[in-house]
A and B are shown apart, each in its own frame.
Chain A
Amino acid sequence: MLTTLDKLEKGMQGKVVSVTGEIKIKRRLFDMGITPGAGIVLRKVAPLGDPIEITLRGYELSLRKSEAASVTVEV
């Protein structure tokens, strides 16, 4: 099933399919390793509901839901 990264729930896993959105942010996401094919686990959501924390390529990354919304993942 295809969905976006911000819609994952805690503990869910997915594989990145594509990244869209504003060029600067997109480039930053690529640089941090969110490229097609990368495996992602949603680790947790911040106390106020945003941002989220994910594990990918063996490290922890936090990003806002608005940025996560531009990442399409296959669950």
Chain B
Amino acid sequence: MKAKWQIVMLSAVLAVILSAPVMGADTIKLGGLYNLTGGMSSIDAPALNGAKLQAKLINEAGGVLGKNLEVIGIDTKTDQKAAATGAKKALAMGVVAGLGYGDTTFVMAAAPLFQKKGVPFVTSGATHPMLPKWVGDYMFMVPFGDDDQSFAIAEYTVNKLGAKKVAVWTDNSMDFTKALSKFYKQRITELGGTIVLEDFFMMGDKDFSAQIARLKNADPAPEAVFVSAIPNEAGLTVKQIREAGLTLPIVSGDGFDTELVTTVPGDKLANDVYFSTHTYREDNRPEVLAFVKAYEKEYNRPPENAFAALGFDAVGLIADAIKRANSTDGKALRDALAATKGFKAVTGEISYTRPSGVPMKGVSIISVKNGKYKVEEVWYPKN
């Protein structure tokens, strides 16, 4: 009994001691809200690493406004409640801007609190095109919107692959995959194509034989299949479609931007796959090469995915705005962010010229042929 109380007391004392903030005297604080544990951690943890790396590089080059930049990583545990408290915590610590998340759900729990306090929030990876409208004028997006990536691959399907009759598979369990399919179908029909078959599956499905059977028997026969999936299902669907002897092109969005597309089916079967994604993979612009090199040096491994680069860009974007505003005041910083034009980010140039608040950004179309990734073209939105 006594020993147990000692443990309890010890941990309590430890907690109190460590609660005392160990802050540098004069830093510009940014709140990095990410789900570092739980289901979203494979996407969010690299993003925070990217963000911290950018801050480190900026500090080594002299900092911003003569001060060091500090990214305070706050783990929100893939839990909306923790996202809301995390945001309040960051605001109470006096951050000048917030950044974070690869998923819209969590942005919507945190960002409105920043909006209310007049502190800008930059999401590094959430792609819902309505986000800035839902949250308000202090909300900024680093990535393109889901509509842009769907339009890009839809135009590629019709114009370059020459497929006008397409089948659409949708993961019906996620908002992101549903939105992707919606915009894809919209643009295909606008371009004079037809959706000959629509099929659904759920996140975590392992067997796609029913969908494949319907795909084989569809009449008229589809000339391409759009698979709206996240990484887990990306590799599996490619493998099973190809194993069934179907050779039609498989197209998708940034959910396919993963090694699983080639490792799960193997190089032979990973063929004739096309997807739209952030301009980062297989890209050799100097920003990309420098980022990959710095990341490898800092963490002893290559960047896990595009979200690492997006986190890196989020901090870069904020630092750039602080410099131009010459201030860390919320209003001035917001105005500077909104005026961002041609910011050279790792994931492409960012300009906020649209009324929707979604950046005008290039979208890479990447092909996979016999297990090799190649950038086919970079698509730019027209307005």
Bound pair (A, B): no
